[in-house]
Structure 1
Amino acid sequence: MTKEDFKISLKKALDGLIDFTQEMVTNKLPHVYKFIIKTNCSYDGNELEDDEEIYPDDKINESSSINPATELTVIDYLWRNDKVPQWINVQISSCDSNFSYITLECCGRFSALLNHKDGPFRGLGPNIPYRYIDQDSGELLVKVDLNKINKS
C-alpha cells in the first residue's frame, strides 16, 4: 500500500462517519476533526507471518503528546516502511465546538499485504451503553450525549 493509497483509504473511512454518528447522538458534531491514535490494540504474541512487523515500544494512547493528531500526523505516523496496521477501528469518541475527535484503535501488526481490499479502516458507531438500546429489536431508544457516555 502506498502512502497515497493509505491517505485515500482514511478519507473513505471518514466519509459519512460524522453523519452516521450524528443520527445516534445529541451533540452537534463538527465536520472538522482531530484524531486520537491508540497503538498496539491487538494481541501480537503469535509468530509473525509474511512481511509483518510489530513495534512493541509504541505506547501511544489518549494521553500521548501526539494526541490529538492531525490527518497528516496520522498518515505520517502509521505508514511505516510501506506498511500500515492490519486493521484500524475508526470511531467518533467525543466532540467540542470546534472538532469531532476520532479514535483510531490500531492493530500492532503492520503489513503491506492487507486482507481488506478497501484498506485497514473499519468504521464503527459510538460506544453506546446497553441501557440505551432495546434488547429485543436492537434499536436505539434515545440519542445520547457522546461526551457523557464516554466518560462513564
Structure 2
Amino acid sequence: MTKEHFKENLEKALDGLIEFTQEMVINKLPHQYKFIIKINCSYDGNELENDEEIFPHDKIDAASSINPASELTVLDYLWRNGKVPQWINVQVSRCDDNFSYITLECCGRYSAFLNHKDGPFRASGPSIPYRYFDPVNEKLLHKIDLNEINKD
C-alpha cells in the first residue's frame, strides 16, 4: 500500500463521518480534525502470517505529545515501511469550538496486503450509552452530548 493510497483511504473514511455523527449528537461538529491515535488495540499473540509485522514496544498513552495529532502525523506515524494497521476503527469522540477529535483505534498487526477494498478504516458512530437508545424500537431516544459521555 502506498502512502498516498493510505491517505485516500483515511479521507474516504472521514467523508460523511461528521454528518453521520451530527445526526446523533447535540454538539456542533467542526469539519476540521485532530486525531487521537490508540495503537496495539488487538490481541497479537498468535503467529504472524505473510508479511505481518508488530511493534509491541510501541506505546502512545494519554500524556503522549503525539495526541492530538494532525492528519500528516497520522499518516507519517501509521504508515510504516509500506505497511499499515490491518484495521483502524474511526469515531468522533469529542469536539471543541475548532476541531472534531477523531479517535483512531488501531490493530497492532501491520501489513501491506489488506483484504479490505477500502483499506483498513472502519467508521462508526459515537458510543451510545444504554439510556440513550431504545433497543425494542432500535432508535435513538435523544441526541448525545459527546463531551459529556466521553469524559476521562
TM-score by length of 1: 0.98
Alpha carbons 1:36, 1:61 under 8 Å: kept: no
- Count of residue pairs the alignment pairs up: 152
Identify the residue that residue 22 of structure 2 maps to in structure 1.
22
Aligned equivalent of 2:63: 63
How far residue 151 of structure 1 moved from its aligned partner, in angstroms, is 1.6
After superposing on structure 2, the runs of 4+ consecutive aligned residues of structure 1 that deviate more than 3 Å are none
What's the Cα RMSD here?
0.9
- The equivalences for 1:47-86 within 5 A come to 47-86=47-86
Aligned counterparts of 1:38 and 1:22: Cα–Cα separation in 2: 23
User: What is the alpha-carbon distance in structure 1 between the residues aligned to residue 105 and residue 138 of structure 2?
Assistant: 25
Task: Give the corresponding residue for 1:114.
Answer: 114
Aligned with 2:81: secondary structure?
A: coil
User: How far apart are residue 63 of structure 1 and its match?
Assistant: 2.8
Look up the match of 1:144.
144
91 and 62 in structure 1: CA distance in 2 versus 1, 3 angstrom threshold: farther
**How far off its partner does 1:137 sit?**
1.8
1:62-111 Cα deviation digits (max 9, x unpaired):
33210000000000000001000000000000000000000000000000
Q: Secondary structure at the match of 2:37?
A: strand
Structure 1 portions without partners, runs of 5+? none
Q: Which amino acid aligns with 1:92?
A: V
Amino acid at match of 1:27: N
- Residue 42 of structure 1 aligns to a residue whose secondary structure is coil
Residue identity opposite 2:137 in structure 1 = S
Match of 2:127 in 1: 127
- Aligned identity (percent) is 77
Deviates more, 1:60-69 or 1:38-47: 60-69
Match of 2:13 in 1: 13
1:61 CA drift (Å): 3.3
